Amino acid sequence: MYHRIDHPNNKIEIQEHFHSPMVYLDHWALNDIALNDEMNEKFVKIMNSFGGTLRLSVVNMTELSKQKDEKQVELILDMIKKINDCGLINIDPKQVISKENILIADPDSIFQVKNPSAELDLVGAYLMANNYPSQWHVSEMIKSIIGELPTKRLTKSNENFLDDMQRLLSIGRSDENHLKQVKDRFNKVKQKGPNYQAATRELFQMALDFILKNENMKMLKYSEWNDLFHLIVPVSYCDIVLMDKRWKTFINQTGFSFPKIAMSFDKKKISDFFKKIEYWKN
């Protein structure tokens, strides 16, 4: 939940306070729950009853901007608006790791960095553009942003990223020594576990190693890479994440578990997902 703090000299600070369970929904899950009347009502009721935080990302916004069915988008935004405590999460692992490094080097910098996964820059820019309203909801911000995303530029950027990743896979998988190093590194990190409070850096490395060492795994679309990499920060910083079965398999193979990382569920376990939120205990 966001709080506006007014400082002297007209300086305005935006703070975010998180409440457990912190929940992140992969975009298919956001659609499945919001577009099903029964699950929609249940999810809103549980989240509000137990005071959890629903965290959303730029990926959710991008996917919403591409959805052609405006009625579906309205239903999703309406569900988000009904949840009292919503916030944004920065799903860029490199940016989050960079902030983590500041905290590791100087623990006292927590007063400046706070939670490395918070997406305060985007929130601050939105609020400044709207003259810092005293009351607002994340759903309003998302609705405003999804109509302005530069899809053509994003498409070109995605194509460049995909070319780089395909080249990396081709080189890595053609070198037997490199593949052996990848497999050894994956197993070593699995046995050792996360070095710090959040497992962001380990999951980021293991995600790439997971794809490299599974030589028959095809990653031919940008969306497939994005589906995996955008889950790293939510799994590192949230309590519960609903994700695709393919990437649930990856999380299982890391050997990491709650509370080091989020509890993860796939589509077949969505009933367990609801039960875990409903019977959440801090």
Q: Is 154's pLDDT higher than 60?
A: no
Per-residue CA distances from 258 to 90, 99, 195, 264 (Å) = 21, 22, 15, 9
Q: Bigger pLDDT: 170 or 80?
A: 80
**What mean pLDDT is reported for the chain?**
87
Q: What is the pLDDT of residues 38-49, one digit of tens each?
A: 999 999 999 999
Q: Is 122's pLDDT higher than 80?
A: yes
Q: What percent of the chain has pLDDT over 90?
A: 52
- Report the candidate in 53, 85, 60 with the shortest Cα–Cα distance to residue 237: 53
Q: Render the burial of 126-136: b for 16+ CB within 10 Å, e for the rest.
A: bbeeeeeeeee
Structural tokens at position 226? 């994005």
Q: Is 155's pLDDT higher than 50?
A: no
- Is the pTM higher than 0.75? The answer reads yes
3-state helix, strand, coil in the chain (%, to 5): 60, 10, 25
Specify the DSSP element, H or E, that contains 42. helix 37-50
* Interacting residues of 234 by C-beta distance below 8 A, sequence separation 6+: 24, 55, 57, 89, 91, 241, 262
Q: What is the pLDDT of residues 176-223, one digit of tens each?
A: 888 899 899 999 999 999 998 899 999 999 998 898 888 777 776 777
- CA dist 205 and 94 (Å) reads 11
When mean pLDDT is compared across 9-23, 89-103, 149-163, the lowest value belongs to: 149-163
- CA dist 279 and 282 (Å) reads 10
